[in-house]
């Protein structure tokens, strides 16, 4: 089973890369598969790649469910 986690883009670092944040943890990822993603957008991240963009509402709903299951700590807050 694969899991993609919603994260918010906080900075574009040039080329096809960006910094995302999830619960205060920042990570550099590739935007090669979602070239239209911008700072502030939520993307689904899997193994260092953004797979697609999702709405802020969907991201919050997913992060909340993950927090309830103990998979994302306090990510929904």
What does the pLDDT look like over 10-51, one tens digit per residue?
999 988 999 999 888 999 999 999 989 999 999 999 999 999
> What mean pLDDT do residues 44-66 have?
94
The Cβ of residue 13 has, within 10 Å, a number of other Cβ atoms equal to 11
What's the rounded Cα separation, in Å, for the pair 39 and 21?
A: 11
Q: Is 75 helix (H, G, I), strand (E, B) or coil?
A: coil
> What mean pLDDT do residues 42-65 have?
95
Q: Binning pLDDT at 50, 70 and 90, where does residue 57 land? A: very high
Could you tell me the pTM of the whole model? Answer: 0.84
What structural domains and CATH numbers belong to the chain? 5-68 (2.30.30.140)
């Amino acid at each position: 089973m694969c899991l993609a986690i919603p994260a918010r883009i906080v900075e574009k670092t040039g080329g096809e890369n960006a910094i995302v944040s999830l619960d205060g943890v920042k990570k550099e990822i590739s935007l090669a598969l979602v070239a239209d993603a911008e700072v502030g957008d939520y993307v689904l991240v899997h193994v260092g790649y953004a797979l697609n963009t999702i709405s802020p509402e969907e991201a919050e709903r997913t992060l909340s469910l993950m927090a309830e299951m103990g998979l994302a700590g306090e990510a929904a807050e």
